[in-house]
Structure 1
Amino acid sequence: MNVKIITDSACDLPNSYYSEYDIEFLPLLVHLNDQDYEDVTGIESKKVYDAMKDGAIPKTSQVSPDTFLQVFSTYVEQNQPIVYVGFSSELSGTLQSAKIAQQQILEENPDAKVYVEDTKCASLGQGLVVLRAAQLAKDGADAEQIVETVQYHAHHMEHIFTVDDLEYLQRGGRVSKAAAFFGGLLNIKPLLHVEDGNLVPLEKIRGAKKVKVLKRMFEVMEERGKELNQQTIAISHGDDLETAKKLASIIKETYKPKNILIGDIGSAIGAHAGPGTIALFFLNDLYQ
């Protein structure tokens, strides 16, 4: 029996990948206008973005330990190994919920193969790690091989992104008030990245036009990326497909990567990043 890959909705993979690679995902919760929704299955990200443009302040909640326990137990009872490839523990308590469930299962069944891996990634950065794990599982790799590859890809995954308004990230505690203030100054666009699972401002780009920011994102990818023509590169967007396609076109023309995956930033991430976010994901080294 192949290893079962489980993730959460913060990975932002397009729905077709879940069925194609037999990935199970658990939805985070989104709280919007006094109602609770399951990310992906219960609400579309556009509804969240439209509400944010109208002044709403959505919030999110982690997946509960009970939910993980229920799902993990289903596969453990079938003696199927599990690898959970999770959202950065620096950005959500979801991974801690998974660890609580893992511990409870192992206390009752020490021989169970239940692995919980912190990608320190978000959105399609996490999604690319999940996808690689699922490809290995489909090819018959064992759990230990998959965990090793997940750890390597997670460690080498770059996140380069920009947001239209840092205020959204500041409200959710994802960046400091100072960073939000400086990012919001007239004619300055913030460029951010991820360090050890945390969102960190990288540069302040003068000039409000996104084309200038896209050019700089591409340059950072050139500086940090390795063997880009051998990679699947991902771009996620907050209700801005046109800009995502422009960035993809620039990358494709220059590097001709194996694949460029474009996807929506789902409600769980979008509730904090806000509409207009553009994010670029690639490896700074390839696993050999």
Structure 2
Amino acid sequence: MATTILIDSCCDLPHTYITENELTVAKFPFVFKGKTYEDDFGNTISYKDFYDGVRNGEMPTTAQINIYQYEETFRSILEKGHDIIYISFSFALSGSYKNAHTAKNNLLEEFSDASIDIIDSRCASIGEGLLCYHAIELLKSGASKDELINWLENNRNRLNHFFTVSDLNHLKRGGRISGAAAAIGTVLNINPMLTVDKEGKLKVVSKIRGRKKSLKALVEMFEERVENPENQTIAICHGDCEEDARKVEELIRSSYNIKDVIINNVGPVIGAHTGPNIVGLCFLGKERA
């Protein structure tokens, strides 16, 4: 039986990759300028328009994918007679994972022979996207459903994430840092580096003074933790600051003969919580702590 890998829009993969591979996507909703949208990889609202709005004071909000949305998405796949492997946004960062399980259990009453596997990626943004990318490439190479699930479960904690942000007020809004820390950090030009730990939670790794140093620190984490870089496709994400993302790529390529690089914007669902000018670097390497 055919297997469909279902992804969600928090993966922040390029829209061209989504369309070229005819991928099915569960789309997170967000509210921007008083209207509710589905995250569709910059198609309805361009990334630039979104981030310009945030820079001008707009405060977008986000929500979970609800049970009904999951039921409809799962049903559209099951009606084709396909098995489903859904690679979800980190359970530690969103309740959508629970909603997906509820939808699965509801549909098993209707499709008693259905096979729906829900995998907590324990990843976020392009880290989740890179995990999905590897799974999709494995499926295209002929891997079985069980082989895909085993690979995901054995490798998700090898997917390293490192992000740096320049606007601390968005982290303050999300409760990641205190108001006092945000105020002091802004004055001192602090650019925190964050990671996603083995449980899929976001945490601050270090506090770096200055943008250039923070970008270099991303590369230093790559050097410290990467494994077999010459055989890897790595991923870099950014919040409407492609020049900085390209700088990180340049620094890595100057020392490593990597296979390929995926570069894309951080979508509005993640970007609502990080703000503009985030830069993230994701790759396979040592297991996360």
Bin of the TM-score, shorter chain as denominator length: over 0.9
Q: Which residue of 1 aligns with 2:142?
A: 140
Q: When the two structures are superposed, what TM-score results if normalisation uses the length of structure 2?
A: 0.92
The reply to whether residue 254 of structure 1 matches residue 252 of structure 2 is no
Q: CA RMSD in A?
A: 1.8
CA distance in 2, matches of 1:147, 1:166: 37
Q: Letter of the aligned partner of 2:108 in structure 1?
A: L
CA distance in 2, matches of 1:23, 1:152: 23
Q: Which residue of 1 aligns with 2:215?
A: 214
The gaps in structure 2 that reach 5 residues or longer are none
TM-superposed CA distance for 1:159, in Å, is: 0.7
The gaps in structure 1 that reach 5 residues or longer are none
- After superposition, what is the alpha-carbon deviation per residue over 1:255-288, rounded to whole angstroms, capped at 9, x for unaligned? 11111111111111111111010000011149xx
Question: Comparing 15-24 with 248-257, which one deviates more in the overlay?
Answer: 15-24
CA distance in 2, matches of 1:257, 1:95: 33
CA distance in 2, matches of 1:198, 1:257: 28
- After superposition, what is the alpha-carbon deviation per residue over 1:209-250, rounded to whole angstroms, capped at 9, x for unaligned? x22111111111111111112111100000000110111011
Q: Letter of the aligned partner of 1:261 in structure 2?
A: I
Q: Which residue of 1 aligns with 2:73?
A: 71
The reply to whether residue 277 of structure 1 matches residue 278 of structure 2 is yes
Q: Which residue of 1 aligns with 2:23?
A: 23
Q: Kindly report which structure 2 residues correspond to 1:73-222, keeping only aligned pairs within 5 A, or say none.
A: 73-173=75-175, 175-177=176-178, 180=182, 183-195=185-197, 196-206=199-209, 208=210, 210-222=211-223
**Residue 243 of structure 2: SS of its match in structure 1?**
helix
The percent identity for this pair of structures is 37
Q: When the two structures are superposed, what TM-score results if normalisation uses the length of structure 1?
A: 0.92
CA distance in 1, matches of 2:99, 2:47: 24
Q: Which residue of 2 aligns with 1:43?
A: 45
**Residue 276 of structure 1: SS of its match in structure 2?**
coil
Between Structure 1 and Structure 2, how many residues are aligned? 283
**Residue 281 of structure 1: SS of its match in structure 2?**
strand
TM-superposed CA distance for 1:182, in Å, is: 5.7
TM-superposed CA distance for 1:8, in Å, is: 0.9
**Residue 13 of structure 1: SS of its match in structure 2?**
coil
- After superposition, what is the alpha-carbon deviation per residue over 1:9-45, rounded to whole angstroms, capped at 9, x for unaligned? 1100001212333321122111112111111243222
TM-superposed CA distance for 1:142, in Å, is: 1.9
TM-superposed CA distance for 1:188, in Å, is: 1.9
CA distance in 2, matches of 1:80, 1:135: 18
CA distance in 1, matches of 2:182, 2:155: 30
Question: Comparing 133-142 with 106-115, which one deviates more in the overlay?
Answer: 106-115
- After superposition, what is the alpha-carbon deviation per residue over 1:154-208, rounded to whole angstroms, capped at 9, x for unaligned? 21111111011122123134x13266456435132211111121111101112x2
- After superposition, what is the alpha-carbon deviation per residue over 1:71-119, rounded to whole angstroms, capped at 9, x for unaligned? 1112223321111111111212222221111111224444311011111
- Cα pair 1:163 1:276 within 8 Å, conserved: yes
